[in-house]
Structure 1
Amino acid sequence: MTEIDEHGRPEPPISAGETATLLGFLDYQRATFAWKCAGLDATGLKATVGVSSMTLGGMLKHLAFVEEYWFSRSLHGRDWPAPWDSVDWAADSDWDWHSAAGDSPEQLLGIWQDTVARSRALVEEALADGGLGRPAARPPWTDGRVPSLRWIVCHMIEEYARHNGHADLIRESVDGLTGE
């Protein structure tokens, strides 16, 4: 049985196999990020800290993009869905970050939640088709290296953990909410 902490986060399993442990930590990091963004209005999602232009809204859109990139595009070789398919990434490589300022909190949370749900389904599909060692269908690098699902999940844990540190600082500046 999964334990849920006081912030609504599923505790990663203490003693489980590799797949359950890795996915447990990824879901914990996702839930930590959701907690940091919960209940904020547009102003809260646009807040910055110090000289950084990073916002929680930008992080929501960026993490949705990263989920889509690794689990759909790289792992399964799929084409970009909306809204990513209409972006000229060569002209604006940070579109995901700054375009969030024009989106409502509901749009930002919806994009992120929908993408996370899709990513979970794509991980299950890949696990059934080769397990954690399943190679990506579309290598992200030009040197021929092909990451495994295991590498992608570990990378996503790192991506969320790094941005959760940023989210801690921004959320505290908005309303004083602190926590792990």
Structure 2
Amino acid sequence: MQAQVEISPAVTRQQHYDDLLAFSDGSANSVWLARIIASWLVGEGALPDRLGLTGSQFRQLLAQRFAGHELTEYAPSGKNLDFSRMLEKQDLEQLLRQFSAAEHAETEWLIAIIVAACLGSDHLWQDLGLWSRPELSAMLKHNFPRLAERNHKDMKWKKFLYKQLCEAEGLYVCRAPSCEVCQDYPQCFGPEE
């Protein structure tokens, strides 16, 4: 028997999360994905239809991580992202893929979701719909450990990903010789509340 989730403002993010978790295998990625989906279901975050996944990826994610749980493919917030203005989409995908801990469908889902969230205008953890920055750090350390290790100074994640792209291309656009003396330091390393 499959459960059908109705999108209702009366259902809280926590209730969606609890419901999703009841259908999950309890793995770390299932917990993070449940939080992302729960936020998406109440219109939080920046993720578009199908969380930024293709239709088949979205259905596969539900079948493998939340078997028996059905969701609409359409963003309840009505948000849609315009990937045509994201020239670096493939570069971000390649960067994440290069540092992924494993090659499997789940990794591809996370890459697509993270890249879609990079188009949002808030911090990456907020655009993903995670509930805190430490959750994002843990998710990245679990799935992209070598990339997460590079962020040893705890730079804000979205800025860090784009800095990695610039450095890979040999572009150094920072005005200061090091982060510690840069006047923009609080924008890159400050709190993300």
TM-score by length of 2: 0.23
Q: Which has the higher helix share?
A: 1
TM-score by length of 1: 0.24
